[in-house]
Amino acid sequence: MIDKSLITGSTTTLILKLLEEQDMYGYQMIETLAKKSDDTFHLKAGTLYPILHNLEKEGMVEAYEEKAEGAKIRKYYHLTSKGRKLLKGKQQEWMEYTAAVNKVLNGGVSVALI
């Protein structure tokens, strides 16, 4: 189990990253995130929606309703170009941060991340 505070800081980035690939509705995002992270990230829905709604307010994502394959009407979220820029920045920030943490953990030796 990973410390929660580690996840909280990067939730927004993870949500944006999910939407970069395709438009999704809330439930789908949580499922996909769990699947993609080999069940490491079990994002609580109660955390997800306030973040999503705030991203929508800031114009990073757009919401629209659509009846997809099932009978239910879902509220889908779509990443805007503004949101893409934010994701890029956040990814960069994350890379720099993890590189620095790794460097310290490795006793001052910089290692390749990937």
Residues within window 69-108 making contact with other proteins, judged by CB under 8 A:
69-75
Q: How far apart are CA 18 and CA 37, in angstroms?
A: 11
Among 21, 35, 64, 100, binds other proteins (CB under 8 A): 64
Q: Do 40 and 14 contact (CB within 8 A), yes or no?
A: no
**Distance (Å, rounded) from C-alpha 79 to C-alpha 59?**
9
Stretch that binds other proteins, among 3-11, 24-32, 82-90, 106-114 (CB under 8 A): 24-32
Non-local (6+) Cβ contacts of 52 within 8 A are 15, 26, 61, 77
**Which residue lies nearer to other proteins by CB, 72 or 111?**
72
Nearer to other proteins, 14 or 55 (CB): 55
* Site residues (vs other proteins, CB under 8 A): 25-27, 44-47, 49-50, 53-54, 56-57, 59, 62-75
